[in-house]
Amino acid sequence: MVNEYELLKPGKLLIASANLLESNFKRTVLLMCEHNEQGSMGFILNRPMDFKVCEAIAGFEDIEEPLHMGGPVQVDTVHFIHSRGDSIDGAVEILDGVYWGGDKAQLSFLINTGVIQPGEIRFFLGYAGWGAGQLEQEFEEGSWYTAEASRDVVFGGIYERMWSRSVRSKGGEYRLIANSPELPGLN
């Protein structure tokens, strides 16, 4: 049997366990983009912010989609995940049909000319990052689960139920965990 923490690789979902109550990650679902001996990084998929991309990022005035809080690290930086690696130079494939980054000026041009549609991209403010061995330690402490990611999960728009659906998708005992109240003491 494969240890689950060995699955902390790009293209996997990292799901906060029900007992992870730290405010930055409580009930979050992240897409892992990098995991190596120097550390790990990814983006929170289910934390849309109260303002839109067009209100926050120059060059993307036509995108009415929400900007997402990618994580607590370098919240003054913008990152993007998209499904158009065939059209954007420098994009890195994370999983089948899902890419990270690339040429931002080229992306702006392709969106403004209608080649790329807003639903094919997600923008993130900041990212989630861990130093060498830190994520593995948190995983061993029971703070995280992993699951298979898919293009539908990454670009789906049902953010408020993403955590419970992702946990439930693991099956077995996780189905019960997915239905646990957020604050059990108040239940």
CATH number, position 14: 3.40.1740.10
Residue 1 covered by a domain: no
Classify residue 4: in a domain, yes or no: no
What is the identity of the amino acid at 46?
N
For residue 38, give the DSSP letter.
Answer: T
Q: 107-121 burial, b for 16+ CB within 10 Å, e for fewer?
A: bbebbeeeebebebb
How many domains does one find in the chain?
Answer: 1
The whole domain housing 153 covers: 9-186
Between CA 34 and CA 99 the distance in angstroms is: 12
Structural domain includes residue 75 = yes
With respect to residue 14, please indicate whether it lies within any of the assigned structural domains: yes
- Whether 21 maps to a domain, the answer reads yes
> Does 161 fall in a domain?
yes
Which pLDDT tens digits describe the chain residue by residue (187 residues)?
345 556 688 999 999 998 888 899 999 999 999 999 899 999 999 999 999 999 989 888 888 889 999 999 999 999 999 999 999 999 999 999 999 999 999 999 999 898 998 889 999 999 999 999 999 999 889 999 999 999 988 988 788 888 988 888 888 788 778 877 775 554 4
Q: What pLDDT, on a 0 to 100 scale, did the predictor assign at position 187?
A: 47
Helix (H), strand (E) at residue 104: helix 104-112
111 located within any domain: yes
Backbone angles phi, psi at 137, to 5 degrees: -65, -45
- Is residue 3 in a domain? no
Record the tokens describing residue 138, joined without a space.
Answer: 């948190």
The phi, psi pair for 68, rounded to 5°, reads: -105, 145
Run of H or E including 98: strand 98-100
pTM of the model: 0.90
